[in-house]
Structure 1
Amino acid sequence: MVSEPQDEQVYTAPLSGTRAQALQRLQIGVFGLGAMVLLVGLANIVIDRAEQTEAGTVPEAASTVAPSKTPEASDPLADAGVAPEVVQPAPTVQPEPSPPIVLDALPAQGD
């Protein structure tokens, strides 16, 4: 008896996995895209709000208090009467020293 050669059947597993796994990957991908859209939208709102606030502020706000000519150092303990007041001496101005005299710059004396 002559037997006919039988084709060997090769069983391959699908690369995408089962239907449930494919659906889970699809859900995760859609959720990730939605999260990115929300984050970009939120960043856009924050940037727009910051630009509106910056445009509405006064560039150089003027001081509401007149500056004093001499800064007064206050001692909270002396103001409360706990410690005696300490009088600060006035700063003294140091005169600038005169430039040094260089002896080599004098003319040479002849014989």
Structure 2
Amino acid sequence: VGSRCGAAEFACRVNAAVELLDAGAPAAEAARMLADRFDCSQRQARRYVDRAAGGGRVVVAAEETVVFTVKLPAPLAIRVRERARESGGTLSALVTRALTEFLVRGQARPRLW
């Protein structure tokens, strides 16, 4: 208790919450069960339940992730955050998808320089 879990553990906990909710457990009971199962606070367990209720299952990235900091114009950063919020996904997932699509499209075209 007291330390952050990694992405894989977070996914495991949220997905466990999804299973409990899908089985008909009330949110409060699901949080109590998660707190016991994962030895975390009921407050944190409730966050997993809320995430499960609002976003469903979490998919774990097969690849290791790293922090990659970039500077963007403020209006663009605002638009990207808004899009991530609207999609119900994370900022990292949105940027990963966008950059992957951009790079794939770039490989399909010959370079002009």
TM-score bracket, normalised by the shorter chain, equals under 0.3
TM-score scaled by structure 2? 0.22
TM-score normalised according to structure 1 size: 0.23
Where is the helix percentage greater, Structure 1 or Structure 2? Answer: 2
Greater relative contact order, per chain length (Cα 8 Å cut-off, separation 6+): 2
